[in-house]
Amino acid sequence: MMKKLVVAIAAIVPSVLMADTVTVVTSFPKELTEAYKKAYEKKYPNDKVEILNKGTPAGMAYVREQAAGSRPEIFWASAPDAFEVLASEKLLAKVDPGVSGIPEKVGSYPINDPEGFFRGQALAGYGLMWNTRYLQAHKLPAPKEWADLVKPVYHGHVATSSPSRSGTTHLTFETILQGEGWDRGWNQILQIAGNCAAITERSFGVPDGVQNGQFGIGLVVDFFGLAAKNSGFPVEFAYPSVTAIVPANIALIAGAKTPEAGKRFVQFTLSEEGQQLLLDPKISRLPVLPATYAKAPAGYPNPFGGKIQAKVNFDSNLSESRYYVVSSLFDQVITFRHKELAAATKAIQEAEKRLGGKASKDLDEAKRLAWMPPLGEAQAKDKELLAAFKAKKGDTAAVAKKTQVEEEWNSKAKANYARAVELANAAK
Amino acid sequence: MIAAISLAIAAFLVAFLVLPVASVVYTAFATGDGGFTFSHFESFFRISLMRESFWNSLWVAGLSVAFASLIAVPLAYFTVRFRFRGALLIQTLGVLPLVMPPFVGAVAMQLLFGRSGSVNLLLNQWFGFSVPFMDGLNGVIFVETLHYFPFILLNLTVAMQNIDGAMEESAHNLGASGWRLFWRIVFPLAMPGYVAGASLVFVKVFDDLGTPLVLGVTNMLAPQAYLRITSVGIEDPIGYVISVIMVVFSVGALWMSARILKGRDYSTLQRGGTSLAKRRLTRGQAVLAYGWIGLVLLLVLSPHLGILAMSLSKVWSFSVLPEGFTLAHYETVFTQSSRMIGNTLLYCGLAAFIDVALGTAIAYIILRTRLPGRELLDWTASAALAIPGVVLAIGYLRFFRGIELPFSDSAFTATWVALMVAYAVRRLPYALRSCMAALQQLHVSLEEAAENLGATKAASIRRIVVPLMAGGMLAGFVTSFITAAVELSATIVLSSSASTAPLSYGIYLYMQSIAGRGPGSALGVIAVVIVGLGTYASYRLSNRSDPWTR
């Protein structure tokens, strides 16, 4: 026994000491990282790839806590804002992509960081994923647009996550807000949320629940839907017309142990070879190198071909300026009050059915109470409010203001939803 | 010599248990410049998510105890009260859940009992309604109940078996029978066993990190501690506040059970007399008893069968049973992750080896020497039972921050050594109990005889004590090994790189993506097989040791 253990330890130690190790901090699933690790190590037999799988915030915290010179080489994740934060903290290093042919922009969104600290490695669009068996069993039509999800037939069959839990979900809702405008956008989001069976704790909870039939329809990033479909699950995925295509990024970390190997890895992921790995059915992501699509199977979505129309000109500055306000508003009036919102939505839908199209003041008032955000567009631009939500933890005054505002939203939402139920039930 | 060894053991325990936990407690109460403050606790209770998590954890742990009691109390009563073959079935029931880590079964339970799981699909088809078994906290309670009820069952059965039959006869003579007899005489007398089991269930559920995470529930204390420390950072005081609260509840629950056991004298005067009268089942009772056992058996086996089906199925979605079977997931696991299986064998093997070495040494020091303060070793080692895995791991991250492993240029907590040591510390109490029991059964005259014949102390330990204790030591090794193999709380916090990750972390990683569910389940089945074989081995070993020592 002991002898075996010693042999085992001896076998592990030298392999770590000799080769160049590329340490990759990533939030991506095992199928993707495993494919890149295998392909890269085959091409560069002297290098070893070490994957550190961490959620994006955990990954950022990890990079920050390592000393310069012993940091990991690569940061690889979806949310562009995470990279912006790391770049502003001087934790990223510029790297030459070593490949030409990657366009500057997809739609109106720049693929690479204008300053060159991080690069788009794949593209992701947001859309609707549904379980075909579930829809069939419940006799539901397949949805096409975000707006379809507000229909009463979908009540209790939809699922989404919260923007505060996942960057991808935040982008989905910010896209709706930018596409429809603040008031109409929130109106739509509140109605969709009112139809939801659950606001899941993690973004992965949505595709996972749709995949195994817990939910009928989910708001997801394309690769979740496409990968599930291509792995044989009875699901479909569609891009609605109001969608945004944004890059998932990769960056070389400043102060890494072996920056040269790190650079090799970045270049590999952007090369034709590396881009092609994205087409694997289990990965199903959209390459940034347009030439790659020539080798894609028929029907593979191509954001450069004009098939997915990103009608929204996504404004990342606007998104960033109100990031915490949108996340927090969503949590206070939707995530934490979901039961009440769903009840109000149900009551309104039933009243509408009962009235059969007859106009009713009570019903209109109920709709206003349930589906209008407690924060108007003008208020949402208020500098003081935005500053309070962006303030650092130590700033007691700002934190107090933020807590007070949040408490107001929350209690107002609770009262509004309760009143909406009363009004809708009484509507004649 | 003995003193030097004791000091070495004490140093190990202080470095890897006492100081890391102390640093967690210190950080929870310390201001930036080292002063004492309650302000972190105040901010904890000001954050609504934290208040919610706090109540959710209590709610889940409390309800799990209630439901576990509901399952276990009737089963225990059947075993001691009735003469019937079901008793063997109940014994099996007591072990089955323990060979499967709860977080592995959780995913399968979603497919069986979830909103569109097999059971609800059938209910909907036949009766037009469904039951939210797995929605949010319900899912955690359901999974934990099925996993941990054996703790109550086993403890309660032993306690009931020890009740003096004379008590029952006296009650009969005084006119009590039926329910009155059970509630007024039998249950109160068995109370210590019940409390011991129930408090264990409470502590285990309260500390569990893997199950809520796999089910996607994060508004509980253990997941919040993990998320705060990993995403906000190692300096975030809230993570430490949560850790302290978890330790307080763990210690509190265990202390309460010790207190209740101690406070009242439940021992009966005569031993070896009669125990509770055993009856034959009437026909009606037999139907009830077997019906209940069958139902529980079905529930208990469901995660096992579910995970097996998942590991073999191509597609399982919105259907009662999976369709299309394949071995591809096992192939994926063996080509991609055989390293993880090797890692688990290595880490848990080393950890169990350390445990047995320490356990034997401590047992010898306690039982065979008069070293002053020797009980301290026992207490400290056993205290590890009350420290949640998340807390110990957070303590390591905090206490060993910036400390590098000798002969390498990586931080101690970034290597697998930290993980292995954490396993060793957390599982030491199990190995220690085993070794203590083995040594207690060994009469000291055997050693005295050896020494009379000229053997030195060291030689008598090597030639007499250790060989005769071998059975108990092996049982301790296996127990430490199998429980460490499926540990996830400390693992998830301390694992960083995929190549040094053990099996349990691999299962968790796979479960994070749709295409990974199959391979994850396959890895889960492998874990269950390893643990199952280990449990069987430890059962055989501890039985075999008996004839040698008598």
Structure tokens at B265: 């004298």
pLDDT at B542 over 90: no
**DSSP states along A192-205:** HHHTEEEEESSTTH
**Arithmetic mean of pLDDT, B47-56:** 87
Q: Answer yes or no: is A341 within a domain.
A: yes
Is A109 in the same domain as A134?
Answer: no
Is A115 in the same domain as A42?
Answer: yes
Q: Taking CB atoms and an 8 Å limit, are A52 and B46 in contact across chains?
A: no
Of A30, A131, A228, the CB nearest to B509: A30
Structure tokens at A414: 């609770």
Q: Taking CB atoms and an 8 Å limit, are B342 and A8 in contact across chains?
A: yes
Q: B353, B341, B350: which is closest to B504 by C-alpha?
A: B341
Is A171 in the same domain as A97?
Answer: no
On whether any CB of chain B is under 8 Å from the CB of A8, the answer is: yes
pLDDT computed for residue B263 by the predictor: 53
Distance from CA of B360 to the nearest CA of A (A): 18
On whether any CB of chain B is under 8 Å from the CB of A200, the answer is: yes
Q: Taking CB atoms and an 8 Å limit, are A204 and B513 in contact across chains?
A: yes
Per residue in B124-164, pLDDT tens? 889 988 888 888 899 999 999 999 999 899 888 888 887 87
State which of A295, A328, A361 marks the end of a domain: A295
Q: B424, B415, B298, B437: which is closest to B357 by C-alpha?
A: B424
Q: B530, B486, B540, B529: which is closest to B508 by C-alpha?
A: B486
**Who contacts B532 (Cβ-Cβ below 8 Å, separation ≥6)?**
B99
Q: Taking CB atoms and an 8 Å limit, are B496 and A62 in contact across chains?
A: yes
Query: Which of B416, B513, B523 is the mutation pick for testing A, counting most A CBs within 10 A?
Result: B513
Calpha distance A420→B337 (Å, rounded)? 54
pLDDT computed for residue A15 by the predictor: 44
Q: Answer yes or no: is A129 within a domain.
A: yes
Is A217 in the same domain as A279?
Answer: no
Give buried/exposed letters for B16-35 (b at 16+ CB in 10 A, else e): bbebbbebbbbbbbbeeeee
pLDDT at B550 over 70: no
Least confident of A54-58, A65-69, B366-370, B406-410: B406-410
Calpha distance B274→B163 (Å, rounded)? 9
Q: What angle do CA B117, B120, B126 make, to 5 degrees?
A: 135
Is A137 in the same domain as A148?
Answer: yes
Distance from CA of B510 to the nearest CA of A (A): 7
pLDDT computed for residue B140 by the predictor: 95
Calpha distance A299→B115 (Å, rounded)? 32
Calpha distance B541→B549 (Å, rounded)? 13
Q: Taking CB atoms and an 8 Å limit, are B509 and A5 in contact across chains?
A: no
Is A173 in the same domain as A266?
Answer: no
On whether any CB of chain A is under 8 Å from the CB of B125, the answer is: no
3-state percent helix, strand, coil for chain A, nearest multiple of 5: 50, 15, 30
Structure tokens at A284: 């199903």
On whether any CB of chain B is under 8 Å from the CB of A202, the answer is: yes
Q: How many CB atoms lie within 10 A of CB A368?
A: 13
* Chain B nearest-CA residue for A134: B318
On whether any CB of chain B is under 8 Å from the CB of A159, the answer is: no
* Chain A nearest-CA residue for B134: A214
Counting Cβ atoms within 10 Å, is residue A212 exposed (0-12), middle (13-18) or buried (19+)? buried
Q: Taking CB atoms and an 8 Å limit, are A224 and B514 in contact across chains?
A: yes
- % of chain B with per-residue pLDDT over 90: 35
A113 neighbors A83 (Cβ within 8 angstroms): yes
pLDDT computed for residue B308 by the predictor: 94
Q: Answer yes or no: is A5 within a domain.
A: no
Of A70, A228, A403, the CB nearest to B514: A228
Q: B513, B486, B510, B489: which is closest to B498 by C-alpha?
A: B510
Query: Which of B53, B116, B238 is the mutation pick for testing A, counting most A CBs within 10 A?
Result: B116
3-class DSSP assignment, residue A242: coil
- % of chain B with per-residue pLDDT over 70: 95
pLDDT computed for residue B548 by the predictor: 40
Name the residue type at position B22: A
On whether any CB of chain A is under 8 Å from the CB of B305, the answer is: no
Q: How many CB atoms lie within 10 A of CB A399?
A: 17
Counting Cβ atoms within 10 Å, is residue B350 exposed (0-12), middle (13-18) or buried (19+)? buried
Of A5, A165, A207, the CB nearest to B346: A5
On whether any CB of chain B is under 8 Å from the CB of A55, the answer is: yes
Q: How many CB atoms lie within 10 A of CB A260?
A: 12
Predicted ipTM > 0.85: no
Q: B105, B115, B112, B111: which is closest to B136 by C-alpha?
A: B115
Alpha-helix residue ranges (DSSP H) falling in B209-282: 210-214, 221-227, 237-263
Q: Taking CB atoms and an 8 Å limit, are A212 and B110 in contact across chains?
A: yes
Residues of A in contact with B110 (CB under 8 A): 212, 214
Residues of B in contact with A31 (CB under 8 A): 513, 515-516
pLDDT computed for residue B22 by the predictor: 95
Alpha-helix residue ranges (DSSP H) falling in B465-516: 466-485, 489-494, 503-510
Distance from CA of B35 to the nearest CA of A (A): 18
On whether any CB of chain A is under 8 Å from the CB of B132, the answer is: no
Which residue range is the domain that position A188 belongs to?
A: 125-244+316-426
Is A215 in the same domain as A349?
Answer: yes
On whether any CB of chain B is under 8 Å from the CB of A227, the answer is: yes
Is A111 in the same domain as A23?
Answer: yes
Q: Taking CB atoms and an 8 Å limit, are A212 and B111 in contact across chains?
A: yes
Secondary structure, 3-state, A359-390:
CCHHHHHHHHHHHCCCCCHHHHCCHHHHHHHH
On whether any CB of chain B is under 8 Å from the CB of A300, the answer is: no
On whether any CB of chain A is under 8 Å from the CB of B491, the answer is: no
Q: A314, A413, A394: which is closest to A108 by C-alpha?
A: A314
Q: β-strand A105-106 against B313-315: which pairing, if any?
A: unpaired
pLDDT computed for residue B547 by the predictor: 42
Q: Taking CB atoms and an 8 Å limit, are A50 and B499 in contact across chains?
A: yes
Is A61 in the same domain as A148?
Answer: no
pLDDT at B166 over 70: yes
Query: Which of B125, B313, B474, B514 is the mutation pick for testing A, counting most A CBs within 10 A?
Result: B514
Per residue in B238-269, pLDDT tens? 899 999 999 999 999 888 888 876 655 555 55
Q: Taking CB atoms and an 8 Å limit, are B115 and A197 in contact across chains?
A: yes
pLDDT at B372 over 80: yes
Spans of chain A, pLDDT less than 70 = 1-18, 306-311, 392-395
Mean of pLDDT over chain B: 86
Q: Within the 395-414 window of chain B, which residues sit less than 8 Å (CB to CB) from chain A? A: 409-410
> Does the predicted TM-score (pTM) go above 0.90?
no
Domain boundaries, chain B: 50-312
pLDDT computed for residue A390 by the predictor: 78
Q: β-strand A105-106 against A235-238: which pairing, if any?
A: unpaired
Looking at the structure of chain A, the number of domains it has is 2
Regarding the domain delimited by B50-312, which CATH topology (the fold level of the hierarchy) does it fall under? MetI-like fold (1.10.3720)
Q: Answer yes or no: is A307 within a domain.
A: no
Q: Taking CB atoms and an 8 Å limit, are B110 and A58 in contact across chains?
A: no
Q: Answer yes or no: is A311 within a domain.
A: no
pLDDT at B532 over 90: no
Residues of A in contact with B117 (CB under 8 A): 214
On whether any CB of chain A is under 8 Å from the CB of B216, the answer is: yes
Is A114 in the same domain as A97?
Answer: yes
Of B346, B496, B515, the CB nearest to A231: B515
Q: Taking CB atoms and an 8 Å limit, are B319 and A133 in contact across chains?
A: yes
pLDDT band at B82, cuts 50/70/90? confident
Q: How far apart are the first and last CA of chain B?
A: 30
Residues of A in contact with B116 (CB under 8 A): 134, 212-214
Q: Taking CB atoms and an 8 Å limit, are A133 and B346 in contact across chains?
A: no
Q: Answer yes or no: is A356 within a domain.
A: yes
CATH number of the domain that A50 lies in? 3.40.190.10
* Chain A nearest-CA residue for B496: A52
Q: Which of B20-29, B465-474, B477-486 has the highest mean pLDDT?
A: B20-29
Q: Within the 86-105 window of chain B, which residues sit less than 8 Å (CB to CB) from chain A? A: none
pLDDT band at B274, cuts 50/70/90? low
pLDDT computed for residue B273 by the predictor: 55
Is A77 in the same domain as A149?
Answer: no
On whether any CB of chain A is under 8 Å from the CB of B188, the answer is: no
Is A137 in the same domain as A167?
Answer: yes
